[in-house]
Chains A and B, each alone.
Chain A
């Protein structure tokens, strides 16, 4: 077949002079492709209804960390590192050792920065420091461009969060069409601007085509120009990216059309080209490697290098029988609980992604809609409903009636606030009643009862999850097998195995879902834990598992539970029908978890601003109920590593709640199936979290959400700083820093993988995502050396010895547990 294609483009992006004949349909399709590619200036923003941590420079993953953190960050006007001055400060304080800097310089070769020809560490370092770049000039601000940003932001806010608006701006014509219709009658626009607007094409792609045609740009420049426009509002662009793939009611073409139309009618220039990054990619990589050496080395020194053939870990031969085994989420906050509960009693622990392999849309009892309770890397495979247990229907009805009444009461209280005409009058009318309550809540958080979420049932009736309606028995068996084999738990089951999800109880915190379980899609983890436990208890599933070689004794029962990471209280669910023996074990476990939680609370409060170690239980309860609290907990701040291997690697080591822990038994996974799953999913999620904390710390203005104290909510979409402006993506300042400085240490993720090198290499070779992460230096991957002596690190050119230096003179958070 021969298709007549449009003429190749020499110079100008459009094949036909748009001003004369109008763009051809082929040109418009090209323009659409340009707009889509230009979106790559920033990654997706998932909103606050189900906040998910993500690398804001994810579209530049393949370019590698060095290039992304310099050129990619500069493209959106951001810093991708703490900068030359920040690194110098660390050097002066001793946090970066000159020996580490020299080692990074030697290892990374002899660039001009590295001081070629120098011999001693001091000479190399001095040559490097002498080559410090000058600070780039600040970008020039253009008043008209800022007016374009401002008008675009205001319309985007109204259009994106349409459900929250008293008066809708949507007219069903799409983002550009709706804006155009309003702008044509907008009295705040001058008549000349409205006349210019009438002359613009009615099609969104036509507006872009006309804008580019007027500038006679070649492909590269046209693409850069569109990227520069989108980079003026990285927050809205980021939200647009996600929305164009999910709701699909907007795309880059529509958004750019409004932006370019505003530019035209306001007479604004195109945005200036981004200022060159302060650091070269190579210089950044040298500094960053030196800056994270102390933290990573301390961790490596604390671990025992495993030798192949070790009988270690999770489902393997355990040294002492366990009264119960607790499987926690890989979240760094679980490390503290695991460490403490192991110290309290004869318990074993494992780590697994907190959705427990159940990729489902879960509809809790009383909820109007289902929640995607799985990592955003996955689409839900099943829809599972929570229902009252047999015999509990009357209680459920009562609870639901109360719940709905409560929602209706809240809704009627808030309805007048939302109405333009009645908000002030309602404040006058209701102030006598609500004012004292507000004062009481402010002065004495928790006085009105324990913190709960308004969208959750207060008194939950006994429920179950309807697995059989959602999954066939074969699917249940397969899911159960995946759960067990991926974490290496295939034999020697304890009498009670507790699957422990996690969630955070806070009050009035827009970022509450950012504290919930990321593996559960930014939701609380109890449902997934209960579903997985029910699955593993089902007789048909056990029968199927036995046929596949996994025998779970009848004396073993699985239970689901949840760790509240604000209060460190642990709830164990579905204990109503336990046998006497199991009741005894669970009672003891509850008591020991209370002790472990108490120890963990004291440990955590020591790090929290205003944390008082005396009365820790009351303090965390107060924080959970305090509607003005900006530091309910630290979340995943200070995360620095993921350890994929058996618990024997880390048991007894205080990892300072800084490591993701994923259980893995290298001896049981000879085909590398489980490791492939771990490296293509939990490792990716851990990297996203690590990158979000990193970038929110190094540039809290562009990649972070700024201070919580001046946030205004835009529906469930996100927050603005003040009434207008760009949508704030990333984490708020109070998640990564205090007035004294950074709380989160911006280091890349160290991935310690206890597996044969060949197995890891095969996965790197076959999976783009793993290759990009490891060879692109987003993640530093370390494994036990093949000869069992020390560690080796995977670099682009193969494996190299990784010898952790002794940095006991420096502050670290990893120490041997007493």
Chain B
């Protein structure tokens, strides 16, 4: 969906085990993204069953959601790298078109 006055971009969201989150963020940075948001300890129900949030004394036994927004021309390379990673690590990726109000933040 595009919104008048806003700029279309590609949003990539990846949920992986927290131990794999660094590899995801490295992919994002090397693909030229200007930033990302990382949410550790996400909960939910998925392919591998229910996932609780972060354990009390263990930050690593959890899932991390990493979100980034990139210009459309940078998306294919990033997606290719993340797909390669997710071939070998448990996790899911969502790609969508979003509209942003400050496109220069993401260039």
Contacts and interface: CB of A to CB of B under 8 A. Distances in A.
Interface stretch (A3-11, A529-537, A639-647): A3-11
Contact of A33 (B27, B48, B52): B27
A29 B60 contact: no
Contacts of A681: 55-58
A681 B60 CA distance: 10
Contacts of A676: 55-56
A765 B50 CA distance: 9
B5 interface: no
B95 A1 contact: yes
Contacts of B95: 1, 3
A36 B52 contact: no
A33 B23 contact: yes
B81 A766 contact: no
Contacts of A261: none
Q: Which of B30, B52, B72, B97 has the most CB of A within 10 A?
A: B30
A32 B57 contact: no
B30 A205 contact: yes
Given A1-B10, A5-B80, A33-B82, A245 B27 contact: no
A677 B22 contact: no
Interface stretch (A307-315, A374-382, A426-434, A489-497): A374-382
Contact of B30 (A29, A684, A765): A29
B42 interface: no
A470 interface: no
A33 B72 contact: no
Interface string B68-99: 00001001111111101101110000011100
Contacts of B50: 766
A24 interface: yes
Contacts of A29: 27, 30-31, 77-78, 80-82, 84
Contact of B85 (A33, A205, A253): A33
Contacts of A765: 49
Contact of B84 (A30, A244, A251, A253): A30
A290 interface: no
B47 interface: no
B1 to A, nearest CB: 9
A579 interface: no
B52 A766 contact: yes
Given A34-B84, A36-B85, A681-B56, A767 B61 contact: yes
B79 A377 contact: no
B57 A359 contact: yes
Interface string A58-100: 0000000000000000000000000000000000000000000
Interface string A762-785: 000111111000000000000000
B23 A36 contact: yes
B36 to A, nearest CB: 14
Nearest to B21: A245
A353 interface: yes
B57 A377 contact: yes
Interface residues of B, number: 37
Majority DSSP secondary structure for residues of A touching B: helix
Nearest to A482: B56
A37 interface: yes
A33 B49 contact: no
B76 A3 contact: yes
Interface in A5-38: 5-6, 24-30, 32-34, 36-37
Contacts of A251: 26
A223 B61 CA distance: 26
A615 B72 CA distance: 76
Contacts of B52: 766-767
Contacts of A25: 31, 77
Interface string A436-478: 0000000000000000000000000000000000000000000
B87 to A, nearest CB: 8
A680 interface: yes
Contacts, number: 113
Contacts of A1: 10, 95-97
Interface in B12-55: 17, 22-23, 26-27, 30-31, 48-52, 55
A377 B76 contact: no
A773 to B, nearest CB: 11
B64 to A, nearest CB: 12
A244 B58 contact: no
Contact of B60 (A26, A28, A30, A769): A769
A770 B49 CA distance: 14
B76 A375 contact: no
Q: Which of B52, B80, B89 has the most CB of A within 10 A?
A: B80
A768 to B, nearest CB: 6
B60 to A, nearest CB: 5
A378 B80 contact: no
Contacts of A377: 57-61
Contacts of A36: 23, 26, 85
B63 to A, nearest CB: 9
A680 B51 CA distance: 13
B20 to A, nearest CB: 9
Contact of A3 (B26, B79, B81, B87): B79
B71 to A, nearest CB: 12
A33 B91 CA distance: 14
A4 B31 CA distance: 16
Contacts of A24: 77
B57 A378 contact: yes
Contacts of A359: 57
A61 to B, nearest CB: 10
A253 B61 CA distance: 26
Contacts of B57: 353, 357, 359, 375, 377-378, 677, 680-682
A430 B97 CA distance: 71
Nearest to B50: A766
A90 B89 CA distance: 39
B62 to A, nearest CB: 9
B10 A28 contact: no
B84 A33 contact: yes
Contacts of A245: 22
Interface string A529-549: 000000000000000000000
Contact of B77 (A26, A34, A219): A26
A677 to B, nearest CB: 5
Nearest to A15: B80
B97 A26 contact: no
Nearest to B17: A768
Contact of B59 (A37, A379, A768): A379
Contacts of B72: 3
Q: Which of A30, A377, A767 has the most CB of B within 10 A?
A: A30
B22 to A, nearest CB: 5
Contacts of B89: 37
Contacts of A219: 84, 87
B23 A677 contact: no
A590 to B, nearest CB: 31
Contacts of B75: 3
Contacts of A253: 30
Interface in A277-311: none
23 contacts: A1-B10, A3-B75, A4-B76, A5-B79, A5-B80, A26-B81, A29-B31, A29-B82, A29-B84, A30-B80, A30-B84, A32-B27, A223-B88, A353-B57, A482-B56, A677-B55, A677-B57, A680-B55, A684-B58, A767-B52, A767-B55, A768-B17, A768-B48
Given A1-B96, A768-B17, 20 more contacts: A4-B76, A6-B76, A24-B77, A25-B77, A29-B81, A33-B81, A33-B84, A34-B84, A37-B88, A244-B22, A253-B30, A357-B57, A378-B59, A676-B56, A677-B56, A684-B61, A765-B49, A766-B51, A766-B52, A767-B55
8 closest cross-chain pairs (CB), A and B: A29-B81, A681-B57, A33-B84, A26-B80, A25-B77, A1-B97, A680-B55, A769-B61
